[in-house]
């Protein structure tokens, strides 16, 4: 086949004649082909752009004068086909009042919502206090108090993001709705590493507390930690999910345990006096108090992990509960972290705390009230930390499921187990990542904590950046809470300082972190650029003539077509070309799809924008590699109609896009179940 013929895209439209239609407000005039140049050369006045479009003849080839990149192989397959215009009647869906009431009754109130993320938050005390005292010494309480201050503005930062975009997914969801898909993949990788670190650190700390009481060998601790990870994965794979009632009971038990520890420590301090505190205060530390405090802050930020997790299940919370949840968690941090570290210094020598950094809380209990409190704390620690492992698996499964639905991860991960209905490939993949992380660091809890800290702080950075993007790009969205830009930048700067401090303090942690982040992000980039990679492969196949007889190129073409056949929807209420074109450009940049459906919902025929069909034809001509359909559906733009469209067209709501609604829009974006805002 010649180079000239390869530069054509093939395609047909069934029309009776070739003519140019010029629409005026009240009339149409037919103009012959010979007159087209006269129309084209008319001065541009805006009206011409909106009213002229070409009606194709019964045989029309999309041609281009640009030479083909593949002179030896035809590229006619790149033509996606002509778009069509449809008027569709949807089946009537009457929302059930009973279903609505049942859904409302299942939503979480502030205390059950607090308990789920609060378990992770308060469990972090179990592995942070000892590490912070080792690093900061006698200044650990000051460091942890500063951490509490740093966390304060993030109450409002996270609340603004999550009330503006009340969808599960946390920082990933925020970035996905305010920026590009590849940047959202960065946030997703951070969140996955956060979940992974949660699971591994919780399992390792649980075995450390058991070992501190039973004096297990290092090898047995190593094996037991891996065993906890495997058992937790099996529990999740069996279909057992976290129960808010169980989480609430564990939360109450853990808070009672920590409260008993504080009371017993105060009593012991009163009985024995200030001798140990004075002796501990004489410890010189590193000789640089400011450096000790700063390093303590960096490590102490690990003690607020879990603060970010509540946004990952915001759809399961009652309206307006989320701001109360993050407020409650900040109060918990203020009550437990700094006070417990101070009380530890009043009753235990620094050297003893450093020897028991991995089971510091149970050691404090032993010194405060004896063996009974130590054993009680160990039991409580194992329960709450094993709950943290389960939380990591459940959270990661939900996030990976969402990312796979958004075509950021391979689709095989969505295959369900036919017996349990769980995503076994997701659970198995996450388990393998967790075990390899634990093996690579050799079971060293300090290194694990460092990876955890970097992951957690990176997630908080993504929330702050997402908040800034939200203000600029989605400023019209309703949000319950608003925070000033200056406060956001202050919070971001504080977290960045802590992130850099952790990396400088232990560069090896960054090495482990980058290995896993790089692996995850590489897979995501491959998925986001699948079509480009296959087209590049097709280009080089064109050069290798000997491979043409094996029809390898046909296989590549088939794969590309399969990736591009999944349609996406853009809901439009305007006929403005630049708005519609912007939606197409977003899909070109962010999705593999080569099929876009513009959907316009109307209540009366006269409400349809007059030039929408003309704009559709112009854009359909403009993008030969994308099939662009126009669909008119009678109805209101509400969650029920969107659900009906999703079912009728078999297009998931994660592949439906809209412009940013205003503050007066009667529905919250979260009520639509995952549709994406892609422009102002």
SS3 labels along 424-438: HHHHHHHHHHHHHHH
User: Going by C-beta distance under 8 Å and a sequence separation of 6 or more, which residues neighbour residue 289?
Assistant: 139
* Other CB atoms within 10 Å distance of the CB of residue 14: 10
Task: Note whether 340 and 489 are same-domain residues.
Answer: yes
Instruction: Tell me if 11 is assigned to some domain.
Output: no
Distances (CA, A) of 123 to 23, 35, 302, 364, 386: 68, 78, 11, 16, 10
pLDDT tens digits for range 163-208: 888 888 889 999 999 988 899 999 999 999 999 988 999 999 899 8
Torsion, Cα 324 329 330 333, to 10 degrees, reads 160
Last residue of a domain, one of 527, 557, 574: 527
Distances (CA, A) of 332 to 123, 199, 243, 276: 11, 21, 21, 27
CA-atom Rg of the chain in angstroms: 30
Say what the pLDDT of residue 429 is: 92
* Separation between Cα atoms, residue 368 and residue 174, nearest integer Å: 45
* Separation between Cα atoms, residue 501 and residue 264, nearest integer Å: 34
* Other CB atoms within 10 Å distance of the CB of residue 170: 30
Task: Note whether 493 and 585 are same-domain residues.
Answer: no
Instruction: Tell me if 621 is assigned to some domain.
Output: yes
Instruction: Tell me if 6 is assigned to some domain.
Output: no
User: Going by C-beta distance under 8 Å and a sequence separation of 6 or more, which residues neighbour residue 464?
Assistant: 154, 157, 488, 489, 491, 492, 495
State in Å, rounded, how far the first CA of the chain is from the last one.
46
Token pair, residue 116, equals: 């789920």
What residue numbers bound the domain in which 168 lies? 97-527
* Separation between Cα atoms, residue 460 and residue 150, nearest integer Å: 11
- How many domains does the chain fold into? 2
Last residue of a domain, one of 508, 527, 546: 527
Task: Note whether 511 and 599 are same-domain residues.
Answer: no
Instruction: Tell me if 571 is assigned to some domain.
Output: yes
* Separation between Cα atoms, residue 75 and residue 5, nearest integer Å: 9
Task: Note whether 497 and 588 are same-domain residues.
Answer: no
* Separation between Cα atoms, residue 496 and residue 484, nearest integer Å: 19
* Separation between Cα atoms, residue 510 and residue 298, nearest integer Å: 14
Task: Note whether 435 and 575 are same-domain residues.
Answer: no
Closest by CA to 212, choosing from 371, 6, 407, is 371
pLDDT tens digits for range 299-355: 999 888 888 888 888 888 888 889 999 999 999 999 999 999 999 999 999 989 988
Say what the pLDDT of residue 245 is: 82
Task: Note whether 522 and 579 are same-domain residues.
Answer: no
Say what the pLDDT of residue 463 is: 94
Task: Note whether 388 and 519 are same-domain residues.
Answer: yes
Q: Provide the pairing of β-strand 85-88 with 568-571.
A: unpaired
Instruction: Tell me if 267 is assigned to some domain.
Output: yes
* Separation between Cα atoms, residue 395 and residue 120, nearest integer Å: 12
Q: Give the H/E segment covering residue 652.
A: none
Say what the pLDDT of residue 90 is: 79
Last residue of a domain, one of 527, 557, 591: 527
Task: Note whether 240 and 346 are same-domain residues.
Answer: yes
Q: What pTM value is reported for the model?
A: 0.84
Task: Note whether 397 and 300 are same-domain residues.
Answer: yes
* Separation between Cα atoms, residue 180 and residue 591, nearest integer Å: 10
Segments in the chain below pLDDT 50? 1-59, 98-102
Instruction: Tell me if 293 is assigned to some domain.
Output: yes
CATH number at residue 661: 3.40.50.620
Torsion, Cα 191 193 198 200, to 10 degrees, reads 160
Say what the pLDDT of residue 27 is: 37
Task: Note whether 481 and 596 are same-domain residues.
Answer: no
Say what the pLDDT of residue 60 is: 52
Instruction: Tell me if 319 is assigned to some domain.
Output: yes
Say what the pLDDT of residue 187 is: 93
Beta partners for 31? 20
Task: Note whether 478 and 398 are same-domain residues.
Answer: yes
Can you spell out the DSSP letters for 448-495?
HHHHHHHHHHHHHHHHHHHHHHHHHHSTTS--S----HHHHHHHHHHH
CATH number at residue 400: 1.20.1740.10
* Separation between Cα atoms, residue 452 and residue 63, nearest integer Å: 55
Task: Note whether 509 and 625 are same-domain residues.
Answer: no
Instruction: Tell me if 183 is assigned to some domain.
Output: yes
Say what the pLDDT of residue 100 is: 46
């Amino acid at each position: 086949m010649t180079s000239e013929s390869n530069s054509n895209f093939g395609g047909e439209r069934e029309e009776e004649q070739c003519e140019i239609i010029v629409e005026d407000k009240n009339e149409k005039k037919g103009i012959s082909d010979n007159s087209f140049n006269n129309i084209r050369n008319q001065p541009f006045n805006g009206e011409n752009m909106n009213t002229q479009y070409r009606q194709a003849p019964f045989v029309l080839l999309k041609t281009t004068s640009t030479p083909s990149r593949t002179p030896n192989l035809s590229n006619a397959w790149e033509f996606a086909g002509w778009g069509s215009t449809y008027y569709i009647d949807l089946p009537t869906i009457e929302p059930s009042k009973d279903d609505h009431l049942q859904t409302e009754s299942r939503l979480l109130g502030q205390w059950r919502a607090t308990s789920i993320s609060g378990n992770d938050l308060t469990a972090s005390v179990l592995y942070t206090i000892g590490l912070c005292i080792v690093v900061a010494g006698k200044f650990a309480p000051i460091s942890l108090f500063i951490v509490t201050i740093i966390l304060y503005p993030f109450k409002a930062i996270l609340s603004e993001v999550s009330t503006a975009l009340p969808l599960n997914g946390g920082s990933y969801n925020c970035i996905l709705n305010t920026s590009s898909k590849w940047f959202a993949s960065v946030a997703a990788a951070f969140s996955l590493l956060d979940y992974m670190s949660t699971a591994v650190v919780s399992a390792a700390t649980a075995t450390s507390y058991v070992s501190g009481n039973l004096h297990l060998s290092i090898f047995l601790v190593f094996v037991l930690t891996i065993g906890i990870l495997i058992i937790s994965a099996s529990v999740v794979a069996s279909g057992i999910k976290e129960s808010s009632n169980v989480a609430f009971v564990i939360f109450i038990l853990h808070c009672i345990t920590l409260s008993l520890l504080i009371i017993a420590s105060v009593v012991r301090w009163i009985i024995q006096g200030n001798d140990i505190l004075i002796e501990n205060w004489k410890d010189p530390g590193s000789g640089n108090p400011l450096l000790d405090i700063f390093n303590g802050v960096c490590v102490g930020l690990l003690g607020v992990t879990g603060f970010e997790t509540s946004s990952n299940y915001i759809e399961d919370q009652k309206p307006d509960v989320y701001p109360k949840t993050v407020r409650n968690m900040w109060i918990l941090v203020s009550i437990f972290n700094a006070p417990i570290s101070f009380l530890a210094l009043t009753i235990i020598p620094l050297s003893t705390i450093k020897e028991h950094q991995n089971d510091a809380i149970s050691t404090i209990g032993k010194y405060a009230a004896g063996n009974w409190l130590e054993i009680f704390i160990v039991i409580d620690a194992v329960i709450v930390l094993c709950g943290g492992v389960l939380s990591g698996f459940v959270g990661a499964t939900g996030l990976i499921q969402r990312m796979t639905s958004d075509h950021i991860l391979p689709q095989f991960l969505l295959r369900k187990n036919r017996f349990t209905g769980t995503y076994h490939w997701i659970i198995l993949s996450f388990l393998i990542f967790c075990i390899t992380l634990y093996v690579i660091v050799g079971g060293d809890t300090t290194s694990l904590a460092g990876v955890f800290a970097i992951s957690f702080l990176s997630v908080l950075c993504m929330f702050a950046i997402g908040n800034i993007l939200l203000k600029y790009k989605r400023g019209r969205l309703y949000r319950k809470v608003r925070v000033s830009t200056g406060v956001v930048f202050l919070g971001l700067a504080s977290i960045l300082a802590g992130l850099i401090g952790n990396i400088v303090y232990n560069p090896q942690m960054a090495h482990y972190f980058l290995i896993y982040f790089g692996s995850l992000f590489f897979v995501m980039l491959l998925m986001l650029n699948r079509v480009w990679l296959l087209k590049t492969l097709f280009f080089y196949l064109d050069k290798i003539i000997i491979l043409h007889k094996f029809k390898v190129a046909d296989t590549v073409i088939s794969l590309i077509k399969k990736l591009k056949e999944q349609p996406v929807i853009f809901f439009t209420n305007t006929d403005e070309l630049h708005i519609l074109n912007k939606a197409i450009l977003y899909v070109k940049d962010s999705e593999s799809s080569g099929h876009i459906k513009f959907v316009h919902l109307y209540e009366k025929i006269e409400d349809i924008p007059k030039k929408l069909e003309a704009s559709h034809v112009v854009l359909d001509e403009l993008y030969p590699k994308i099939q662009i359909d126009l669909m008119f559906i009678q109805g209101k733009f509400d969650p029920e109609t969107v659900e009906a469209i999703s079912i009728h067209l078999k297009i998931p709501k994660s592949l439906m896009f809209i412009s940013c609604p205003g503050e007066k829009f009667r529905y919250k974006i979260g009520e639509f179940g995952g549709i994406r805002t892609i422009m102002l």
